[in-house]
Amino acid sequence: MEYTILKLGKLAGVSTRTLRYYDEIGILKPARINSSGYRIYGENEVEKLQHILFYKELGVGLDQIKDILDDPAFDVSHALAEHRDQLLAKRKQLDLLIANVDKTIAVKEGRTTMSDKEKFEGFKRNMIDENERKYGNEVREKYGDETVDQSNAKLQNMSQEDFDLANKLAEDIHQTLAEAVKTGDPSSAPAQKAADLHKQWISMYWPKYSKEAHAGLGDMYVADERFKSYYDKERDGVAEFLRDSIYVYTGMKK
What residue type is 14 in one-letter code?
Answer: V
List the chain pLDDT tens, one digit each, 254 residues: 999 999 999 999 999 999 999 999 999 999 999 999 999 999 999 999 999 998 887 777 888 899 889 988 888 788 878 878 877 877 877 787 787 778 778 877 877 776 666 666 667 777 887 788 777 777 888 778 888 888 888 888 888 888 889 989 999 999 999 999 999 999 999 999 999 999 999 999 998 899 999 999 999 999 888 889 889 887 889 999 999 999 999 998 66
Measured distance CA(112)–CA(125) in Å, rounded:
21
CA-CA distances (angstroms) from residue 97 to 24, 89, 123, 126, 153?
A: 39, 12, 9, 7, 20
DSSP string, 194-244: HHHHHHHHHHTT-SS--HHHHHHHHHHHHHSHHHHHHHSSSSTTHHHHHHH
Query: What is the structure's pLDDT at 118?
Result: 66
Pairing of strands 32-33, 39-41: antiparallel
Query: What is the structure's pLDDT at 155?
Result: 86
54-85 confidence digits (pLDDT tens):
888 777 788 889 988 998 888 878 887 887 88
Query: What is the structure's pLDDT at 116?
Result: 61
Q: Which of helix, strand or coil describes residue 41?
A: strand
Main-chain phi, psi angles of 33, to 5 degrees? -115, 125
pTM of the model: 0.52
